[in-house]
Chains A and B, each alone.
Chain A
Amino acid sequence: MAANIVREEESLTRVAFDRLLEWLDDGHDSAGDAYLEMRRRLVSYFDRRGRLSADELADETLNRIGRTLEKDGVIATTPPARYCYVVAKYVLLEDIRRERRHVPLDESRGSVAERMPRAEPDEAMTLREQRLECLDCCLQALKPEQRELVVEYYRDTKRQKIDRRRELAARLGISMNALGIRAWRIRSALESCVETCCMGPRRV
């Protein structure tokens, strides 16, 4: 799929990339964080829209904007995030059109189970154990208060969970939204840590 994505150029020039970072910062220097955050949002958008190559499409979107900035110097549409959505929408439509042109009619996508590659039982068990070990290692790296927060935030279900979160937010003196974001950040860091750990030698 990735090979099907037509790019105007393979990568950005340094000038284009610099301008893209500066433009995304929108006057608040984020040292690259705004770029990474926008990329995450774009990947999720393309993924939700059922695109198999969400990462590549997100990069293509940002590359196009970078090239426009390099060529024209400015982009009138504000805020930058809204312009990113406009470009992303075009990239999505182009990808859908490309898929219609290139995917043979008899190539049905099949069910979820049919699309999944098969793994040997022993291999799957080893992978599962490795993931659990990695999760243990990553949890060890959390500070005690972070560990306490995620246990409190994610335990229980339904009503109990809501009550617990409300109490926790009150105790910390923050809103439920802020609490959710704080818990999400820890969980997301754990998720990344497990991915990294499973790909190579133990780092924590």
Chain B
Amino acid sequence: MSLSHKTHYSDEQLARYLLQRLPEDEMERLDEMSIADDEIAWRLRVVEDDLVDAYVNGSLTGETLKEFEAVYLSSERRRRKVQFAGNFLAKVDRGMGAPKVARRGWTVPQATPVWCLAAAAALLLVCGALAVRYVQLQTVLSEAQGQSAALERRSRELEQQLDSQRAAAADTASELARVRAEIAQLQATSARPANPPGGAPQPLAAIALVLLPQTRAVGDIPTLVVPHASSRVTVDLRLDSNRFGRYEAVLKDPASNVIVWRSRSLAATSAAGQRSVKVEVPPGILKAQHYSIELIGDGSSEVADTYALRVVFQ
């Protein structure tokens, strides 16, 4: 997604583009680059966040402030970004602790003591402005809630589309996983002393699956069939490289990119020339859905390998 010949744009020009303050031909040129040029697409996101933060911090002044309020805040989606930035930057100010610092418009005006007539007049003006801002923010919050529901619906639709693409391959993988589970069960049974005659069969306590690093083919998602009786789910993650001795596994919901669970530091093991990391996932946290697992090298934030799987319950 790159354009072969580029015009250089400064951050200031990109900010002017976001506020629709460039001539129409430049606007169109950047419209195209915002879609077709990777570097501009990314820089626009970074510049947009800085612009929003400047507004929330109260650093925007004059024409830029007016344009921001008239143009940027005219979109529901962008108002939601401003709302998030208000909360987020308050956290950043506190080093991610509880927010205390009042950012632009993100704290409810407190009752103000009146201690002299002159101050009272000034305070009235300030409170009036804050009250207007407060009403605006209430409405922004309410609107954002409605938009959230729409986003959730859209997210589900997209997931369904991708699911349908993967369904065919997943069926095969599901069958494979079932066969593997049965083999594992048979092996475990043969390794144990036989049940006493008439004794109840042992419940299946654990299940394991071998996962290879994510392939590029759409639809190549292995399925982990988890019997309801399972007390342990082990996933054997095969490594493509041996860059790290220890890894941390991060289980994510790919639809929302939310981290569902993290492992402790795990040592990579080697058997028959194949390096892998065994991860024991608590079955209680699993739901019938798709997951991704990221293996992160110890002492680094680098994602060494990514794995995808689908969980179904038997």
Q: Tell me the A residues contacting B by CB distance below 8 Å.
A: 11-12, 14, 17-18, 21, 26, 29-32, 34, 36-38, 41-45, 47-50, 52, 54-55, 79-82, 84-85, 88-89, 112-113, 116-121, 123-125, 127-128, 131-132, 135-136, 138-139, 141, 143, 145-147, 150-151, 154-155, 157-158, 177, 180-181, 183-184, 187-200, 203-204
Contact = CB atoms under 8 A, between A and B. Distances in A.
B151 interface: yes
B35 A189 contact: no
Contacts of A180: 42-43, 46
A43 B81 CA distance: 14
Given A43-B77, A139-B96, A150-B92, 9 more contacts: A18-B218, A29-B216, A30-B216, A55-B154, A82-B3, A84-B36, A85-B35, A184-B49, A204-B259
B244 interface: no
B271 interface: no
14 contacts: A50-B75, A81-B36, A85-B31, A85-B35, A85-B36, A116-B143, A117-B142, A118-B139, A118-B142, A119-B142, A124-B137, A124-B141, A177-B39, A204-B259
Interface in B72-99: 73-79, 81, 83-84, 87-89, 91-93, 95-96, 99
Nearest to A116: B139
Nearest to B74: A112
A204 B260 CA distance: 6
A128 to B, nearest CB: 6
A171 B211 CA distance: 36
B41 interface: yes
A122 B96 CA distance: 26
Interface in B238-269: 253, 256-260
B35 A45 contact: yes
B205 to A, nearest CB: 27
B139 A119 contact: yes
A198 B35 contact: no
A147 B96 contact: yes
A146 B161 CA distance: 32
Interface string B177-201: 0000000000000000000000000
Contacts of B2: 79
B251 to A, nearest CB: 11
A82 B140 CA distance: 35
Contacts of A50: 74-75
B34 A32 contact: no
B1 interface: yes
B209 to A, nearest CB: 19
Contacts of A80: 1
Nearest to B150: A55
Nearest to A61: B35
B18 A48 contact: yes
B36 A199 contact: no
A187 B73 contact: no
A125 B108 CA distance: 9
A32 B215 CA distance: 12
A188 B57 CA distance: 19
Contact of A157 (B36, B54, B96, B146): B54
A8 B139 CA distance: 36
Contact of B258 (A141, A143, A154): A141
A63 B70 CA distance: 33
Interface residues of B, number: 81
B161 A117 contact: no
Given A85-B36, A125-B108, A193-B258, A155 B141 contact: no
B230 interface: no
Contacts of A54: 77
Interface in B21-59: 31-32, 34-37, 39, 41-46, 49, 53-54, 57, 59
Contacts of B135: 113, 118
Contacts of A119: 138-139, 141-142
Contacts of A26: 1
Contact of A88 (B35, B92, B143): B35
Nearest to A12: B161
A17 B165 contact: yes
Interface in B219-247: none
Contacts of B137: 124
B139 A181 contact: no
A42 B41 CA distance: 11
A127 B142 contact: yes
A48 to B, nearest CB: 7
Interface in B137-187: 137-143, 145-146, 148-152, 154, 158, 161-162, 164-165
Nearest to A138: B258
B257 A155 contact: no
